[in-house]
Structure 1
Amino acid sequence: MVILYTFISEDKHQDLVCRYLNTFSEAFKNKILKYRRWQDAQLSLLGRVLLRHGLKSYYNIEDAEIGFLSGHKPFLKEHNIYFNISHSKNLVACAISDFPVGIDVEFSDPSINYQDFKFQMTPAEFENVDGSADKINTFFTYWTEKEAVIKAHGDGMMIPLDSFEILHNECSIDGKKFFTKKVFIDEQYLSCIASNDPVIKTKEIILDKFSM
């Protein structure tokens, strides 16, 4: 399993657009050009660049076609390789594996008021965050774990965050078990991967920082 990541840069934006945008489909190109903020455009573009680079470098796959499941989760057509992309603030990451995977990264924003998200936590989760010595870190740990599981599940916003709890890196949704694993990418961010395959607990992870 590999997790590729990089950080966006305004100075490199035009060069990245010129270098990569025309190498993708017209539909994806139009999507990127619709963004008003350079940050959003570059995060989306680099997510796809990381995926392409990872597939070619680690799985010898070129020009893979992406499809979408009913829950809008993307997948690779004609390949038993799975991927998931996440970004937050300046960081974008792409997880690629031979088993289903979800990844979430979040900037550990010290200005966040975790109490605004109380309705998205179970009582036990809120008590754990509220009683923590480092409330911000505990909150974003909770958030990345939940989001990674939801992305691994594939049903997106159809699953309320307060409808399940993660205990000892495991949880159950509609009778289906999921497993989580924290990943360190950068000290300013929290990140987590999740899967319905327990192999995630012991699988070696290659971290690859992509140079633009």
Structure 2
Amino acid sequence: MIDLPAGDINWLTFKKEACLIKDRETHLFKIEVDTYFDLIQDTYIDILNDQEITKASRFLKTKDAESYIVTRYVLRNLLAHFVLIPPADIHFHFSSDKKPKVDGIEFNISHSGNFIIIAISLAPIGIDIEFINQNFDFDPLMNAIFNEEESSLINKNADRLLWFYVLWTRKEAILKASGEGLTEDLTKLNVVAPIVGRFDTYFEVKSLLLDQNYVIGLATEVPDSTIHYWNFQPPSLILS
């Protein structure tokens, strides 16, 4: 059974002194792009490296560039908070599966619309957020993405579109946590159960509604991980 908590989630205002990283804990950070870009547009060049600034300049759409800048700025500041080095000195390297890494900590990022979600833990983690597009015709994709059990779960619910996104974000979260990326046969990845195995690793999968328009899928390697929900509001973002 998949629960969809929404209104009962208490997104706390971020406070540095209350946000500590421990084993068997996961921190989720919710950021609104529009809220922060105006705040950092004159200072982000002091935090981002040359490669990130160059990439931001190549986006065709201004909103996409702003979302990327805010994501990198917040991520660097959050990682700096946990690993105790200046945000500009955070060094990203890539694992064999091309997943960005920082020594001593695990993180994952997803964004949709005006929201960015960053997940941070000491164990491998995956996060996906999706805007529920009411005009999206998902039926032609069903057989390519979902197995019989998953399709049955979608079809028996009155809001089929919502449950399409619920199961899709769960698949994305697991594949990001495991470092696989999208597989050739998504139907072989059954995400109905709360614990899902990938090779020799088991992931706990949770689903939640950010609001009536957004669904989040979260996969953590450690079962029964305590989740802390943080809502960034100015000036909490400015950690440097």
1:3 aligns with 2:12: no
1:100 aligns with 2:124: yes
The corresponding residue for 1:145 is 170
The corresponding residue for 1:20 is 44
1:134 aligns with 2:134: no
The corresponding residue for 2:101 is 75
TM-score, with structure 2 as normaliser: 0.77
TM-score, with structure 1 as normaliser: 0.86
Counterparts of 1:176-191 in structure 2, within 5 Å, are 176-191=201-216
Displacement of 1:14 in angstroms is 6.2
Query: What is the CA deviation profile of residues 50-74 of structure 1, one whole-angstrom value per residue up to 9, with x for unaligned ones?
Result: 2123223455343321111122211
* Equivalenced residues, count: 207
Which structure has the highest helix share of the two? Answer: 1
Q: 1:172 to 1:144 in 2, by over 3 A?
A: same
Which letter maps to 2:176? K
Q: 1:55 to 1:202 in 2, by over 3 A?
A: same
1:195 aligns with 2:215: no
Partners in 2 of 1:90 and 1:160 — Cα distance?
31
Identity among equivalent pairs (%): 25
The corresponding residue for 1:208 is 231
Q: Which has the bigger relative contact order, CA under 8 A and spacing at least 6?
A: 2
1:161 aligns with 2:202: no
- 2:125–2:220 CA contact under 8 A, matched in 1: yes
The corresponding residue for 2:108 is 84
| Structure 1 unmatched ranges of 5 or more | none
- 1:104–1:145 CA contact under 8 A, matched in 2: yes
Partners in 2 of 1:21 and 1:163 — Cα distance?
44
Displacement of 1:101 in angstroms is 0.8
Displacement of 1:144 in angstroms is 0.9
CA RMSD of aligned residues (A): 2.2
Query: What is the CA deviation profile of residues 158-196 of structure 1, one whole-angstrom value per residue up to 9, with x for unaligned ones?
Result: 454222102331112234322112244333211121122
